[in-house]
Amino acid sequence: MQSKKGLMGLMILLLLTVTVSVFLIGCETGKGNGDEEDIQEKWTWINPYPQGNTLYRVWAYSENSVYCSGEAGTILHYDGSDWELMDTGTENALYCVWGTSDSNVYAGGFNGTLLHYDGKNWSEVTLNLSRSYTRFTAIWGTGAQDIFVGGDSGTILHYNGVLWSQMTTGSESYITGIWGTASDDVYAVSNLGEILHYDGDSWSISYTSPHSIWFTGIWGSSADDIYAAGGDRMGTEQLTLYHYDGSSWSEVSEEPSDINISDIWGSSANDVYVAGEKNYVYHYDGSQWKQIYGGGSLWLYGVGGVDSQHIFFVGEVGLLMSYDGSNMDVIWQNDLRDLTSVWGTDKNNVYFAGLNQYVGHYDGSQMEVTDVGTEGYTFKGIWGTDDDNIYLLGNRLNDDDTTTNSVFYYDGEQWTSLHDLENTPLGGIWGAGEDEVFVATGNGTVIHYNGSDWTEEDTPTDEPLLGIYGTDADNVYAVGDKGSVVCYDGEDWIALDSGTDETLYSVWAYNENNVFICGADGIFIKYDGEDFHIIDSPTEEMLTSVYGTSGGNVFAVGYKGTCIRYDGEKLEKVSTGTDT
């Protein structure tokens, strides 16, 4: 399996592909031009690779066909060469996936979502049952005509190849794992430490842990070699791995029973794997358990495989790994960064700025980290005219609780500090050219650069200014706290009444009659040169950035993967494929 080397695990970095590329993330935006509106309404992942939604479970049909399920309706498929996101038709989290072939795969999740894949398309399963379900969290079967699906309130559904039926289990807990040896020898585990057994006629609770254990998975090699794994609900350092020898359940007293385990799978009695907190992976060789990976900050949630040389692990923020029996290949790079700003000249030349002194450059295929040569800075804005003229805003908290706030400059070869201020937080940057650069500050001022000198200009507000944009040097807008909007006409800064007290984070202008602003609680405002119009928004999530290609094609993005689009008349939600 090939890793995508050089791609940093950035938190969350998406690119919307349009005729004129639009870059939307954080607090600033890139540059665009023209009136093109031929939108390919699909967000695609740039980083992390191959995607960044949390993955919960993995099921492998063969070494060349692996399915992973996760947040925001994610199904990720591996064909032996590449990982590809599948179109599932849902944005609900998918907590489990299992199948019998590449033309018979099931996935279950939030809001009672149950999907089926026929080899071509995913579609929703019609259950035709009298009750509704909160979520499905486990799937397993002996074949296409004998499938069990577990969920909330002790739910276990059965499919006989024709009809789905509700089974009576005697449990009121979440069913978190199902596994068996035959249609009359099936086990299920719950989040309240229950182990259930089905004998072909009825379910019964065969064992309940005396401790505060939530079980998360179950697997066995035979009827007298079964493991149930889980976590400690109360943090009381209880053992989290149990074993069944054909007659009774007992706690496993050795590692990895001292960690919170998310899932368990094996290829044989002498080849068993568990995965869990801190991306720990333990392996059992028939005589002892041994840690083979882990110690990081992320959880692994799922493990599955084909044989002893093809094992897959999935977890938080799209964490994806494979193991060949000797070496662990981290397909997804887990170096998380918080990004605050993006700017580029085209879709194959994009710069990103973020926390912990991060500046990255994307060339259309991979991300490379750029060393600015600073210490302790958080970068909050980036803008330029071309590759030889880029400006970067940085804020640093000093040991004496003062702040150093700097503008850095890149000339195509190296970064240098261009301008420093004390205790003046920098909020956003935009320019009309290399000799007309404007920086919004947290003191309500705007710093203006004329190509040689920096001048701090007062505006009619003392509120922090967070975003800035213009159409030319004589028509610049800055927005900020308490609905503040100020406009520069080439000589003076003028206060404008936005009609709201909401915090405004970003502004973008197509021309002086089409100025767009977004902010807290999903607020979206259009300024037509005379009046401000608050447009009815389909979201209450915070919107942190706005950008477009014309007055009838404007996007705003924000928290929980929110993206909305203005078509010149109304706002509509656009699916991003993530809820982060």
Reduced to 3 states (helix: H, G, I; strand: E, B; else coil), residue 380 is: strand
Q: Which of the two residues, 306 and 130, has the higher pLDDT score?
A: 306
356 pLDDT more than 90: no
CATH code, domain carrying 224: 2.130.10.10
CB 505 within 8 A of CB 489: no
pLDDT tens-digit series, residues 303-333: 999 999 999 999 999 999 999 999 999 987 5
- Residue 335's pLDDT band (boundaries 50, 70, 90)? low
Task: Tell me: do 503 and 432 sit in the same domain.
Answer: yes
Name the domain boundary from 275, 307, 330: 330
140 pLDDT more than 80: yes
1, part of any domain = no
Total count of domains within the chain = 2
Q: What is the pLDDT of residue 2?
A: 35
Task: Tell me: do 412 and 293 sit in the same domain.
Answer: no
434 pLDDT more than 60: yes
pLDDT tens-digit series, residues 146-156: 999 999 999 99
- Residue 41's pLDDT band (boundaries 50, 70, 90)? low
- Taking the CB of residue 495, how many other CB atoms lie within 10 A of it? 12
**What are the distances in angstroms from CA 212 to CA 192, 193, 332?**
8, 7, 33
Q: What is the mean pLDDT of the chain?
A: 91
Structure tokens at 159: 């499919």
- Residue 130's pLDDT band (boundaries 50, 70, 90)? confident
29 pLDDT more than 60: no
**Percentage of the chain exceeding pLDDT 70:** 92
464, part of any domain = yes
Backbone angles phi, psi at 547, to 5 degrees: -165, 155
Task: Tell me: do 501 and 526 sit in the same domain.
Answer: yes
463 pLDDT more than 80: yes
Please tell me the distance from the alpha carbon of residue 383 to that of residue 386, in angstroms, as a whole number: 9
Please tell me the distance from the alpha carbon of residue 370 to that of residue 387, in angstroms, as a whole number: 13
pLDDT mean over 412-440 = 94
556 pLDDT more than 70: yes
Task: Tell me: do 150 and 245 sit in the same domain.
Answer: yes
CB 404 within 8 A of CB 373: no
pLDDT mean over 459-463 = 97
pLDDT mean over 190-219 = 96
Q: What is the pLDDT of residue 233?
A: 79
Q: What is the pLDDT of residue 238?
A: 82
Reduced to 3 states (helix: H, G, I; strand: E, B; else coil), residue 338 is: strand
Task: Tell me: do 324 and 448 sit in the same domain.
Answer: no
- Residue 19's pLDDT band (boundaries 50, 70, 90)? very low
Q: Which residues are paired to 175 by β-bridges? A: 190
Name the domain boundary from 284, 310, 330: 330
Task: Tell me: do 33 and 131 sit in the same domain.
Answer: no
Name the domain boundary from 274, 304, 330: 330
Task: Tell me: do 414 and 318 sit in the same domain.
Answer: no
Q: Which residues are paired to 510 by β-bridges? A: none
CB 350 within 8 A of CB 30: yes
478 pLDDT more than 50: yes
Residue type, 391: Y
Give the DSSP per-residue string, 439-482.
Answer: EEETTS-EEEE-SS-EEEE--S--SPEEEEEEEETTEEEEEEGG
Sign of CA dihedral 249, 255, 258, 264: negative
Q: What is the pLDDT of residue 530?
A: 96
**Which are the contacts of 263, defined by CB distance < 8 A and separation ≥ 6?**
57, 177, 216, 217, 229, 274, 275, 276, 300, 301, 302, 303, 304
pLDDT tens-digit series, residues 483-537: 999 999 999 999 999 999 999 999 999 999 999 999 999 999 999 999 999 999 9
Q: What is the pLDDT of residue 24?
A: 40
- Which of 14-18, 164-168, 333-337 has the highest mean predicted lDDT (pLDDT)? 164-168
Q: Is 471 exposed, middle or buried (0-12, 13-18, 19+ CB in 10 A)?
A: middle
pLDDT mean over 362-383 = 90
pLDDT mean over 209-214 = 93
Please tell me the distance from the alpha carbon of residue 521 to that of residue 519, in angstroms, as a whole number: 7
Read off the pTM: 0.86
3, part of any domain = no
198 pLDDT more than 80: yes
565 pLDDT more than 90: yes
Helix, strand, coil % in the chain, rounded to nearest 5: 5, 55, 40
Task: Tell me: do 299 and 378 sit in the same domain.
Answer: no
Task: Tell me: do 494 and 424 sit in the same domain.
Answer: yes
- Residue 236's pLDDT band (boundaries 50, 70, 90)? low
23 pLDDT more than 70: no
Stated as kind and residue range, the H or E segment containing 16 is strand 13-18
What is the domain extent for residue 88? 49-330
Please tell me the distance from the alpha carbon of residue 350 to that of residue 464, in angstroms, as a whole number: 28
pLDDT mean over 100-124 = 98
382, part of any domain = yes
